[in-house]
Amino acid sequence: MSTDRKAAIAAYKERKTVAGIYAVRCAASGEVWVGQAPDIEKIQNRIWFSLRHGSHTCRSLQAAWRTQGPDGLKFEECERLEDEESSYVRNALLKERMRHWQSVLTAEAI
């Protein structure tokens, strides 16, 4: 393995991730889904991938994808969380903030 590759792998492992809350909106139906992610910058790719392959666990979101397509859904970041040393504290805060956004947006949880 080359030193460049080793350096790239080490840099990837040490990068900072930002946890947060996100929403997916369907313009046609007005439906909103809210979720939490330990890495808010990567979650849209994962969601869109599972929707494209028909394997997303949220049935109502998958149904909206089938009827509206990718252009009918919009991904939004609701909130980014401060960096936490403890994953326990971060996870508890994510759950709390997700409940908050669910009630504010009257959204379904992903």
Asked: is 16-109 a CATH 3.40.1440.10 domain? The reply is: yes
pLDDT given at position 4: 85
Q: What is the dihedral of CA 66, 71, 25, 79, to 10 degrees?
A: 130
Q: What residues contact residue 65 under an 8 Å CB cut-off, 6+ apart?
A: 51, 56, 72, 73
Domain ranges of the chain: 16-109
pTM: 0.85
At residue 13, does pLDDT exceed 90? no
Q: What residues contact residue 39 under an 8 Å CB cut-off, 6+ apart?
A: 17, 18, 19
pLDDT given at position 1: 65
**Mean pLDDT in residue range 58-62:** 96
Percent of the residues in the chain that have a pLDDT greater than 90, as a whole number:
76
pLDDT given at position 15: 72
